[in-house]
Amino acid sequence: MRAVAELAGRWFAVLVVLGGAAGLAAPEQLTPIASQIPLFLGIIMFGMGLTLRGADFVLVARRPWAVLVGVVAQFAVMPLVAWGVGTVLGLDGPAMLGMILVGAAPGGTASNVIVYLAKGDTALSVTLTAVSTLLAPLLTPALVLWLAGSSLDVTYGSLVTSIVQIVLVPVLAGLLVRTFAGGIVERYFLPYLPLVSVTAIVVVVAGIVAANADAVLSTGLLLALAVVVHNGIGLLLGYGAARAAGLDETARRAVSIEVGMQNSGLAASLATTHFSPAAALPAALFSVWHNVSGSALASYWARRPVTTR
């Protein structure tokens, strides 16, 4: 099982692409999965909580500038870029809303592994993911309602409640379990978490694509372009923000990946819970693409020496 878990982590991007392909190939059979996205995301978030320790938050006090730069870039760059890309490409309705949901989400759950492979500052990456996740109940709903328009038939409170239920509670539960049963978690659970997380993400992508199979085939290319540009600009501006702030190369790589990789599962869950399955399509495409681009960037950086300039 450990070997299977390691294999799943290594071929994560390929498996996500295959999940999307399965959604297109068998839409009728896989569409019901879309209604269970909050459950699968809760499982992923609980697993994320199991990987955290209280020591991961010490970095906030020891290196507040680096953490502040990363968090501000996370919640400023990606939402505004999502709105800008969607506007330039003429997206509207559920497609535009879906882009904004992705942009307003916290850092992605796979970013820590990508930062590690890229020879970046893994400790900073873990801290940024944790802090942005804890801030998501406050910032994500505000950003969505601001950028998507006040005419949306949803309240700030309802979005906050959803994020607390499917993100904050599972993460804190996982953190508490790790705190009080660390030995058991590290021995019996952590080695298999990649398999659980990858399986859950692949199932989510398959369900979303299946529920929007017709939309993928008709408008998929435009949305795919929007997602690729959104992700690319996020990676670039994240690195640029860290460089402008005077952070070292390992921290720049961490901030770049944290900003560019989003918790698209949360965006998909909010879309299906409060809006429409079509609004979850950008999140599904982002789930596929950011793992591909992140893996490619990690491979590129892994071959380049880390400099202090």
DSSP structure string for 29-78: HHGGGGGGHHHHHHHHHHHHHHH--GGGGHHHHHSHHHHHHHHHHHHHHH
246-271 mean pLDDT: 90
pTM: 0.82
Whether 195 maps to a domain, the answer reads yes
- The Cα 152–Cα 150 span in angstroms is 5
Whether 29 maps to a domain, the answer reads no
Position 205 scores a pLDDT of 79
Summarize pLDDT for 51-85 with one digit per residue, the tens.
777 776 777 778 899 999 999 999 999 999 999 99
Whether 8 maps to a domain, the answer reads no
Position 5 scores a pLDDT of 66
Count the domains in the chain: 1
Domain of 89, CATH number, reads 1.20.1530.20
- The Cα 66–Cα 59 span in angstroms is 9
Other C-beta atoms lying within 10 Å of the C-beta of residue 70 = 31
% of the chain exceeding 70 in pLDDT: 94
Q: Would you state the structure tokens that stand for residue 182, as one six-digit string?
A: 């660390």
Confidence of residue 47 (pLDDT cuts 50, 70, 90): confident
DSSP structure string for 284-300: HHHHHHHHHHHHHHHHH
Whether 275 maps to a domain, the answer reads yes
Sort 90 into a burial class: Cβ within 10 Å, 0-12 / 13-18 / 19+.
exposed
Q: What is the DSSP letter of 152?
A: S
Summarize pLDDT for 122-161 with one digit per residue, the tens.
788 888 888 898 899 899 999 998 998 755 667 788 888 8
Whether 124 maps to a domain, the answer reads yes
Q: Give the residue numbers spanning the domain of 144.
A: 34-299
- The Cα 125–Cα 253 span in angstroms is 9
Whether 16 maps to a domain, the answer reads no
H/E element, 187: none
- The Cα 281–Cα 1 span in angstroms is 32
Whether 309 maps to a domain, the answer reads no
Whether 240 maps to a domain, the answer reads yes
